[in-house]
């Protein structure tokens, strides 16, 4: 791409600072010089759902080690990379030349949106991560096949359960303080968060934003407002991603791709040489398969042998200090990770700029890191599957998670659909008060903006008053919002394994 030119996307169409409800708090503080998107960040970082992420591990669940990534530390790292993307893009000479005086306002807005959306990106992940998602999906595929109690559209929210969809529900409603507005974030921040702006069934062969079912029925009205405000509608049938969501996705991929590898190395699951050799072999084989051998040429240790491709040469990594002495093991993995993040960051921002016109038109249907002749991110993903995810201890913990989530759902479902009122009543003692209040407000008092419930309201409420979809919604909201350890402890109590 000619760095002297930037595709002149109309950022005004994507950055309108509108909310579901215009809050008086931010505007009423005269000395508060933050823009609306910077206000969003404050709302998010102080919310309880963010705090709970410290007890959700990234890859290795239920670990007692204090150096292993949690969802919170991972999200902070994603936030850092995403903010770097903003600065690389909006502080370049070409961007400033293209947008003139508006460039500085765009820099502040885009930076704040990316920072907040990145911090949010995993907020809807259930216990035990992506395997927890699969467990919930499989549970309801079987249950709803045997019990036809809700409509097909409603069933997708459970049989195709996705943490991204739950995340939108958490920030827009389940952070409940007497109103159904949740954190009341701006539409552009929510648009950048939405990885899968798709109300329909997952379509793995379709547009990148349709690869998963990303919107629950309960958030459809909000989603329509986000789409309208953020210029995300292509035509009557097609919805495109917000352009900034591509950068949030890339920042997430960079962080889990590099940090999971570093975690495994620090646990001593493999040596540095084994790691590098595995990555080199994958990249070489993919280049041969895709007939991209020419892309290897500058990064060979022997100019005549493509099989001598070196990822170290590609990312500009050196095993020695400038004085020729060898780096120790800790410094090796740290410097390798830094160099790898640098390579992937440049790849992502270059692909973003090169494809911005297609992104703007809703025609770009790829992840930024996958537009790479050498498929470095593919090498990291393959390595993680072979050397980390496939390990016996990881598989055993995932099976534990499967038992925990299935067990909790079995018990809560039996309570919710019991014919005996005494059993139905027990569910109110288990599910948190704020979840129960949010359910009462959403189902019976939706026309009231602010609502206060007293003990009598909760005492007299019978879950039988809810329709079947709302019963399932309440249970899944509760289980999927749990931390790893809390879900295990609660299951052990329910199963009589722990008093």
**Rounded to whole angstroms, how far apart are CA atoms 294 and 283?**
13
What DSSP state is assigned to residue 232?
-
- Is residue 187 helix, strand or coil? helix
Burial per residue of 409-448, b for 16 or more beta-carbon CB atoms within 10 angstroms, e otherwise: bebbbebbbbeeeeebebbbebbeeebbbbbbbbeeeeee
Contact between residue 155 and residue 474 where contact means Cβ atoms under 8 Å apart: no
pLDDT, one tens digit per residue, over 326-348 is 999 999 999 999 999 999 999 99
Can you say whether the dihedral through the CA atoms of 334, 335, 339, 340 is positive or negative?
negative
pLDDT at 413: 96
pLDDT, one tens digit per residue, over 422-460 is 999 999 889 999 999 999 999 999 999 999 999 999 999
The angle subtended at Cα 388 by Cα 383 and Cα 390, nearest 5°, is 100
Q: For the domain 11-243, what is the CATH superfamily, name and number?
A: Hypothetical protein af1432 (1.10.3210.10)
The structure tokens listed for 445 are 């008092």
pLDDT, one tens digit per residue, over 98-136 is 999 999 999 999 999 999 999 999 999 999 988 999 999
Contact between residue 167 and residue 118 where contact means Cβ atoms under 8 Å apart: no
Contact between residue 486 and residue 495 where contact means Cβ atoms under 8 Å apart: no
pLDDT, one tens digit per residue, over 235-254 is 888 999 999 999 999 999 99
Cα 385 versus chain centre, distance: 19
pLDDT at 127: 92
Query: Residue written as tokens 């407002």?
Result: 225
Nearest to 209 by CA among 252, 239, 253, 164: 239
Q: pTM value?
A: 0.94
pLDDT, one tens digit per residue, over 376-409 is 999 999 999 999 988 888 888 889 999 999 999 9
CB atoms within 10 A of CB 33: 7
**Rounded to whole angstroms, how far apart are CA atoms 268 and 285?**
26
- The proportion of the chain whose per-residue pLDDT surpasses 90, expressed as a percent, equals 84
Report how far apart the first and last C-alpha atoms of the chain are (Å, whole number).
64
**Rounded to whole angstroms, how far apart are CA atoms 378 and 257?**
9
**Rounded to whole angstroms, how far apart are CA atoms 36 and 27?**
9
Count of all residues that appear for the chain in the document: 499
- Region 406-424 average pLDDT: 95
Res 38 pLDDT > 60: yes
The structure tokens listed for 462 are 């019978």
- CATH 1.10.3210.10 domain extents, the chain: 11-243
Longest dimension (CA), the chain: 81
- The proportion of the chain whose per-residue pLDDT surpasses 70, expressed as a percent, equals 94
Could you tell me which residues are beta bridge partners of residue 19?
A: 186
pLDDT, one tens digit per residue, over 251-279 is 999 999 999 999 899 989 999 999 999 99
Show the DSSP H helices in 46-101 as ranges: 48-52, 71-90, 93-99
Nearest to 166 by CA among 79, 280, 52: 52
**Rounded to whole angstroms, how far apart are CA atoms 251 and 81?**
6
pLDDT band of 45, cuts 50, 70, 90: very high
pLDDT band of 61, cuts 50, 70, 90: low
**Rounded to whole angstroms, how far apart are CA atoms 337 and 5?**
31
pLDDT at 39: 94
**Rounded to whole angstroms, how far apart are CA atoms 25 and 208?**
37
């Amino acid at each position: 791409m000619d760095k002297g030119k930037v595709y002149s996307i109309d950022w005004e169409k994507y950055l309108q600072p509108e909310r579901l409800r215009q809050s008086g708090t931010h505007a009423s503080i005269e000395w508060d010089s933050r823009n609306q998107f910077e206000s969003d960040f404050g709302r998010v970082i102080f919310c309880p759902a963010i705090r709970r992420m410290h007890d959700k591990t990234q890859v290795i669940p239920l670990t007692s080690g204090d150096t292993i990534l949690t969802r919170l530390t991972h999200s902070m790292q994603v936030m850092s990379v995403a903010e770097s993307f903003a600065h690389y893009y909006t502080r370049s000479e070409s961007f400033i030349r293209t947008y003139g005086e508006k460039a500085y306002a765009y820099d502040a807005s885009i930076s704040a949106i990316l920072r907040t959306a990145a911090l949010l990106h995993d907020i809807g992940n259930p216990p035990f991560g992506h395997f927890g998602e699969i467990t919930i999906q499989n549970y309801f595929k079987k249950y709803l096949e045997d019990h036809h109690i809700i409509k097909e559209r409603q069933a997708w929210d459970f049989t195709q359960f996705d943490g991204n969809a739950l995340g939108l529900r958490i920030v827009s409603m389940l952070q409940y303080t007497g109103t159904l507005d949740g954190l009341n974030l701006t539409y552009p921040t929510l648009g950048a968060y939405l990885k899968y702006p798709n109300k329909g069934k997952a379509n793995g062969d379709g547009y990148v934003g349709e690869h998963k079912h990303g919107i629950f029925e309960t958030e459809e009205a909000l989603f329509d407002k986000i789409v309208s405000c953020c210029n995300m509608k292509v035509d009557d049938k097609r919805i495109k991603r917000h352009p900034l969501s591509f950068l949030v996705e890339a920042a997430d991929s960079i962080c889990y791709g590099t940090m999971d590898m570093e975690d495994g190395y620090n646990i001593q699951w493999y040596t540095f040489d084994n790691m590098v050799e595995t990555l080199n072999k994958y990249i070489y084989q993919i280049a041969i398969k895709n007939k991209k051998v020419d892309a290897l040429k500058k990064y060979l240790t022997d100019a005549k042998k493509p099989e001598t491709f070196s990822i170290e040469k590609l990312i500009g990594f050196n095993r020695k200090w400038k004085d020729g002495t060898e780096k120790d093991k800790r410094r090796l993995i740290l410097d390798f990770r830094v160099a790898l993040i640098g390579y992937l960051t440049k790849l992502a921002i270059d692909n973003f700029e090169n494809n911005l016109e297609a992104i703007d038109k809703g025609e770009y249907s790829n992840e930024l890191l996958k537009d790479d002749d050498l498929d470095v991110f593919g090498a990291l993903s393959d390595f993680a599957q072979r050397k980390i995810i496939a390990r016996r201890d990881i598989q055993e913990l995932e099976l534990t998670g499967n038992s925990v989530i299935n067990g909790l759902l079995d018990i809560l479902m039996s309570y919710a659909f019991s014919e005996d009122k005494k059993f139905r009543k027990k569910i109110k003692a288990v599910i948190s008060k704020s979840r129960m209040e949010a359910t009462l407000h959403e189902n019976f008092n939706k026309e009231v903006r602010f609502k206060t419930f007293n003990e009598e309201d909760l005492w007299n409420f019978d879950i039988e008053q809810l329709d079947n979809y709302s019963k399932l919604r309440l249970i899944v909201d509760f289980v999927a919002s749990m931390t790893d350890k809390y879900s295990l402890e609660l299951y052990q109590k329910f199963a009589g394994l722990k008093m």
